[in-house]
Each structure stands twice: as structure tokens, then as C-alpha cells.
Amino acid sequence: MSTPLIVGNWKMNGLGEAVTEIAAMAGAGRANLWVAPPFTLIDRAVIVAAGAVTIGGQDCHAAFSGAHTGCVSAAMLADLGAGFVIIGHSERRTDNGECDADVRAKALAARAAGLDVIVCVGETQEQRDAGAAEAIVGAQLAGSLPDAVDGLIVAYEPVWAIGTGRTPTPADVAAIHGFIRAQLLARFGLMGRGVRILYGGSVKPDNAALLLGQPHVGGALVGGASLTAASFLAIAAAAG
Ligand code: PEP
């Protein structure tokens, strides 16, 4: 089994001094730690990470360049030394009205710029209560994924678990990750076997081992608990 991939999403958090946390993460000498700080910290984060932590973006524009005030392209991220980008996070789908077609266009742009791409999917509480979690996640996968598996990672993040302290049961995590694997196999054939699927939503040091121990869970996408080296490294250690 490969080392779990632990990805931190700092969202809109962190001023200059916060890169000391990334330096501390890098100093721990662990493999497979990735962090997406805000755009403003990427260049400094790349320097302090010194290749020991992979630094990425939290979003990118679908276009290579152009008249898009305030936006950042995948090529710009790559130019700063980023190695990946998170696309289709539920906060962007909700706050910025991003639909599956937008997410797919961004994923294609990211791959064209040579970035690995983490495509996020996940249902709301209402959708889960209605028994529609698989239908929603299946539709998001069908509409959001790029055409090839190279550099592709999928993150399953139930919206109701993000930042709430609530998580699905281990059985529910196993069930939906198994469903996602089946969708990947149907779409990409045997190549779908190698696509890493992350779980995200209130992952903490004390629940990481259980959540990441489920079948088809290849790592975690971590929000709040990725902001300090202490808790992020504790999650990585618990994950194995
Ligand atoms: C996230 O925002 O991707 C996330 C999983 O957040 P948290 O870990 O804080 O729930």
C-alpha cells in the first residue's frame, strides 16, 4: 500500500509569518505532504518547503491568460513553483457558482500547465438525507473530471462534514469511496485503479487512522487541522 497523501487546504488563512508552519512541516522529513496556502503565500511557501512539502493552489482560472481581473491561471501557479491545484472545492462551487463544466475546464487547464489536479466532489446534508449521495457524486464525477487519469486525484468531501466536526461513519466512507472507484473504472478502465481518492471533512489527528483505514481511501484533504504543523503532522503520523 502506498503512503497516504495528506493535503492541507489553508483557504483564506495565513499572513507572512504562517510560512513558518510550512517550514516546520518540511523539517519533519515525511513523504507525501502537500499544502495549498492562499495565492499570496505560494512563492514564499515554495521557498521554505524546499521540495520537502509540495505546494499548490486552491483554484485556478480555466484560461491561460487574458482579461480576467483578480484571477490566477494554472500557468501562473506552475510558474511560482506550485505542483498541484485543488479544483471544485464545495466552497467555490457554492460561493462562486462553479458548475461541473467550470471545474472540468479548470482541471484541463491545470493539466495543460503540468499541475497535478485534485477534483473535489461531495453531497450536501439534504442530498444525503434524500438518499441521493451517490447520484450527486456520480454526476459531479461525470461532469468535472478531465479526460485522462495522469496527474488526477479525486477528493470526496461531504459538504456537511467540512468544518463542522462531523464525519461520515467508516462504513459510509468505505461505501462511497467504493462507489467512486467503480465510477473511475467505468470511465477510465483499468487506469482508474491508480487514481488516488482522498477523504476530506473534519479530519483530525484522533479520527485520521479510522477514516484513512477504509478501502479506497488514499489520503486526506484537511482544512482547519492543516493550519499548524503540529496538527497536520499528527494527522500524517496517525495515517501511517
Ligand atoms: C476542506 O475545506 O477541504 C476541509 C476538509 O475542511 P475541514 O478539514 O476543516 O473540515
pTM of the model: 0.98
Mean pLDDT across the chain, nearest whole number? 97
* CA–CA separation, 38 and 40 (whole Å): 5
Position in ligand 1 atom list of the atom nearest CA 163: 10
Asked if residue 54 lies in contact with residue 76, where contact means CB atoms within 8 angstroms, the answer is no
Instruction: Tell me the percentage of the chain whose pLDDT exceeds 90.
Output: 98
Domain boundaries, the chain: 5-227
Q: What is the mean pLDDT of residues 176-202?
A: 98
Which tens digits make up the pLDDT trace of 154-180? 999 999 999 999 999 999 999 999 999
CATH of 5-227, one of 3.20.20.70, 3.40.50.720, 3.50.50.60, 3.30.70.360: 3.20.20.70
Contacts of 219 (CB under 8 A, 6+ apart): 4, 5, 6, 7, 32, 196, 198, 199, 212, 239
Ligand 1 mutation target, pool 157, 167, 199, most atoms within 8 A of CB: 157
Pick the residue whose CA is nearest to atom 3 on ligand 1.
Answer: 223
Closest CA to 220 of 7, 26, 1, 2: 7
| Ligand 1 pocket, residue 184 CB under 6 Å | no
* CA–CA separation, 81 and 88 (whole Å): 21
Ligand 1 mutation target, pool 9, 167, 199, 207, most atoms within 8 A of CB: 9
Asked if residue 137 lies in contact with residue 147, where contact means CB atoms within 8 angstroms, the answer is no
Q: Name the residues annotated as catalytic.
A: 89, 157
pLDDT at 240: 85
Q: What is the mean pLDDT of residues 144-157?
A: 97
pLDDT above 70: residue 1: no
